[in-house]
Amino acid sequence: MSLRAIKYENNTLEILDQLLLPAQTKYISVRGVEDGWKVINKMQVRGAPAIAIVGCLSLAVELKNEKFESKKQMRQEIEGKLNYLVSSRPTAVNMKIAAEELIDLANQLSKDDSVSLDEMKAKFLQTIEDMLAKDIADNKAIGDYGAKEILARVSGDHLVRVLTHCNTGSLATANYGTALGVIRTLHKMKRLEHIYCTETRPYNQGARLTAYELVHDKIPATLIVDSMVAAVLKHRNVTAVVVGADRVAANGDTANKIGTYQIAVLAKYHEVPFYIAAPFTSVDMSIPSGDHIVIEERPDREMTHVGEHRIAAKGIACWNPAFDVTPASLIAGIITERGVFRPEQLKEQFGQINK
Distances (CA, A) of 130 to 60, 124, 176, 213, 322: 11, 10, 16, 25, 31
CB of 5 to a second copy, least distance (A): 14
Cα maximum dimension of the chain: 68
Position among 40, 136, 209, 277 found at the interface with a second copy (CB under 8 A): 209
- For 156-167, letters b (16+ CB in 10 Å) and e give eeeebbbbbbbb
* Residues known to be catalytic: 246
* Contact yes or no for 115/109 (Cβ under 8 A): yes
Confirm or reject binding of residue 322 to a second copy (CB under 8 A): no
Compute the distance between CA of residue 33 and CA of residue 123 in angstroms, rounded to an integer. 19
Is residue 21 a contact residue for a second copy (CB under 8 A)?
Answer: yes
C-alpha–C-alpha distance, residues 152 and 156, integer Å: 9
- Considering the rule CB under 8 A, would residue 201 count as an interface residue with a second copy? yes
Binding span for a second copy by CB under 8 A among 12-20, 56-64, 182-190, 266-274: 266-274
Phi (first) and psi of residue 28, to 5 degrees: -110, 135
Residue 273 or 339: the one with the smaller Cβ distance to a second copy is: 273
Interaction with a second copy in 23-62: which residues (CB under 8 A)?
23
Minimum Å gap between C-beta 313 and a second copy is: 4
3-state secondary structure of 248: strand
One residue of 58, 200, 251, 256 binding a second copy per CB under 8 A: 200
Q: Which is nearer to a second copy, 83 or 329 (CB)?
A: 329
Which range in 56-64, 105-113, 177-185, 315-323 contacts a second copy by CB under 8 A?
315-323
Is 221 among the residues that bind a second copy (CB under 8 A)? yes
Whether 261 contacts 353, CB under 8 Å? no
Residues that bind a second copy (CB under 8 A): 21-23, 196, 198-202, 204, 207-209, 211-212, 214-215, 221-232, 234, 258-259, 261-262, 265-266, 268-269, 303-304, 306-307, 309-321, 324
